[in-house]
Structure 1
Amino acid sequence: MTKPILINDFLHLHDIVPLIDVRTPAEYEQGHVPGAFNVPLFSNEERVRVGTTYKQVGREEAILLGFDLTGSKWSSFIKEALIIAPDKRIGVHCWRGGMRSGAMAWALDLYGFEVFLIQGGYKKYRGWVHQQFEQPYKIQILGGMTGSGKTKLLQQLSVTGEQVIDLEDLAQHQGSSYGSMNKLIQPTQEQFENNLAGKLKDIDKKEKVWVEDESLTIGKRSIPNPFWHQMRDAAIIDIKVDVQRRVNSLAAEYGSLDKDFLMESTERIRKRLGPEQTKYAIEAIMEGRIKDFVKIVLVYYDKTYRTGLSKRDISKVSSLELDDTDIATQTNNVLNFTINAPAK
């Protein structure tokens, strides 16, 4: 049986009903519903052929070509769907909920699947994604200069049961010129938005959600403007940590990275760091004086942070010094601070 369903309704079932995306591998790679399985009806090249036929010859010829191209594939489609959904309950979508998903739904229905056919397809889903950024959230920003341990605090807050959105994890980048850590690969902008919307979907809007203070861009990915503006308007806790602790923490984190990567990343901020400081930083990297390198670049990053902080509503900025090095104790201090601090 095939059941047409709106994307909003299907997402409530997504944890128990798997979803297959029958678009091409290239379309899927550009952006997909988090957790969806790619079972492409056509290869990238085949879709181009069908599309060209549709435009140059007509709809009926394109449909016939589509059947020619998929004729020998239907058995493998069904077998793959059985692996994904052994209980024979499955969601299906293509770009606009048209012929590709319709054909797949027909075949799976014929075999005995209960098929949830997403109305409007991935295009409708993308509209839903943008709607999530427009929703109001009770955001609490966790700020602090580079090396203050904000990411570890966020992770520990999540462990304690607090709602957390880790934007750097979603963007696969730590935000600075060195943020790829010479290994992280960022998702496409479209997929970053999809992943963020998926996290926001599960947020209880009546309760606080913790978000790290970020620039508009994280690496090459941009935080969606409606959500970014909410972040900028939210109350922020400015974490204060001793500078030497910050230097030690960053040196430990970046010291094992490839020297060429560190030097290339430093060159990218030459104009903002200045030619003389850039030279000293690169010399420190080459000589293995990682703490000296960190101290030099922190001058630039600290200045950038203070500039960003100065543009916030001062009435929404609170400072909290964290002297203890134990992450659990730090987290408790942060939580107690938010409980006892006056409303902003």
Structure 2
Amino acid sequence: MFQDLTVPELRDMRDRKELTIVDVRSPSEFADATIPGSVNIPFFDDAERAEIGTLYKQRGMAEAKRRGLELMSAKLPAFIAEFAALPGKIALFCWRGGGRSRTTATLLGLMDIHCYRVAGGYREYRRWVVETLETYRLDKPAYVLHGNTGTGKTAILRQLAEEGYPVLDLEGFACHRGSIFGDVGLRGSNQKTFDAELLETLLRFERAPYVIMEAESRRIGKCTMPQFLMDAKESGVPIRLELPMPARVRHIVQDYRPAEHKEACLHAFKIIKPRMHTPVAKEIQQSIGQDRFDVAAELLLEHYYDPRYEHGADRYDQERERLVRARTEQEALDGVRAALPDVQA
């Protein structure tokens, strides 16, 4: 027999590193959104799930179950072997805690592999995320990284996160860089994934003295930040980065890899092209087409991104600003580190 877990029980056991969470939904469902930290061992793959769904609609439940049994019987040994290879305890879930997770748990039990099942499945986890974020209050100060495009804010945040600082990597949650070119080379997250990653990180930092975040717009790619984070950005301690133009251009070319994503860069540029002075826009488009990406990046910074940043730079309390002027990315990282309180404070 298997035992059901509530979402708080699941998270508590996961945080104590006592179990592996398994999503038994199809690969496309898993790719769309899942419980963070899960692995995917699908009960049916996408084609099988589509076939079963069609049979259910056209010929009824009995025929769909019969075909499902045929499909599962053929791959049952390999399916069970994947679970047997997992370390520690297992908790599994499907969409709503129904047939796929119940059948998997029963099969595993017959092979003496004990497992837990997430009550209500992913649907219940998503409900918990939404309700928790709706009532969440950020009861600690935020240190907010500002700076022109190309100053390496995201790279700095990720290095600080590796060092144990309480970083909210909003662009990482959204899988988007927060600009017109933000999804170049990336597959943007949806709101479900963004919300789950954000909430899990916030709860992990409940005892931290502060959080660090970038000064993002409310919308990052396909995702929207909750109001409490917008409030934290407005009331937070601003840290503004300044980096020379050559270093910024170098960082942009390294980060966006336009040689690998030339068509995506041209597509993104055409969106903002009408907003720019015609001769400059023409030179940028030609530079991208001729693989002179450093020239294109500098022109975009000088004639589009920097003016837009300056227009919005007075939206925070400049008297509280902590300015970091640096010549290199390493100096910028050191400067931001020095502007932050000790993480143990």
Same topology, TM > 0.5: yes
Give the Cα separation in 1 of the matches to 2:341 and 2:312: 25
**Which stretch has the larger CA shift, 207-216 or 273-282?**
273-282
Q: Which amino acid aligns with 1:202?
A: R
Tell me the residue number matched to 1:275. Answer: 278
Deviation at 1:212, TM superposition (A): 1.3
Give the Cα separation in 2 of the matches to 1:326 and 1:145: 14
TM-score under structure 1 length normalisation: 0.82
Tell me the residue number matched to 2:308. Answer: 304
Give the Cα separation in 1 of the matches to 2:33 and 2:102: 21
Give the Cα separation in 1 of the matches to 2:19 and 2:130: 23
Distance verdict in 2 for CA 1:286–1:5, change over 3 Å? closer
Tell me the residue number matched to 1:212. Answer: 214
Tell me the residue number matched to 1:106. Answer: 106
Give the Cα separation in 2 of the matches to 1:130 and 1:316: 36
Tell me the residue number matched to 1:144. Answer: 147
Deviation at 1:177, TM superposition (A): 2.9
Contact 2:243 2:328 in 1 (8 A): no
Tell me the residue number matched to 2:6. Answer: 6
TM-score under structure 2 length normalisation: 0.82
Contact 1:285 1:293 in 2 (8 A): yes
Tell me if 1:221 matches 2:225: no
Equivalenced residue count is 334
Identity of aligned residues (%): 28
Matches within 5 A, 1:27-38: 27-38=29-40
**Which among 69, 78, 87 is matched to residue 80 of structure 2?**
78
Matches within 5 A, 1:90-101: 90-101=90-101
Tell me the residue number matched to 1:323. Answer: 326
Tell me the residue number matched to 1:235. Answer: 236
Q: Secondary structure at the match of 2:178?
A: coil
Give the Cα separation in 1 of the matches to 2:53 and 2:8: 29
Q: Secondary structure at the match of 2:115?
A: strand
Give the Cα separation in 1 of the matches to 2:48 and 2:289: 51
Tell me the residue number matched to 1:47. Answer: 49
Q: Which amino acid aligns with 1:11?
A: R
Q: Which amino acid aligns with 2:29?
A: E
Tell me if 1:175 matches 2:178: yes
Deviation at 1:6, TM superposition (A): 0.6
Deviation at 1:41, TM superposition (A): 1.9
Tell me the residue number matched to 1:117. Answer: 117
Q: Secondary structure at the match of 1:105?
A: helix
Distance verdict in 2 for CA 1:36–1:252, change over 3 Å? closer
Contact 1:136 1:205 in 2 (8 A): no
How big is each residue's C-alpha offset from its partner over 1:57-80, in whole Å with a ceiling of 9 and x where there is no partner? 655554444334423333322111
Distance verdict in 2 for CA 1:152–1:29, change over 3 Å? closer
Distance verdict in 2 for CA 1:165–1:242, change over 3 Å? closer
Distance verdict in 2 for CA 1:102–1:301, change over 3 Å? same
Give the Cα separation in 1 of the matches to 2:164 and 2:58: 57
Give the Cα separation in 2 of the matches to 1:337 and 1:28: 40
Q: Which amino acid aligns with 1:2?
A: F
Task: Point out where structure 1 has 5 or more consecutive residues left out of the alignment.
Answer: none
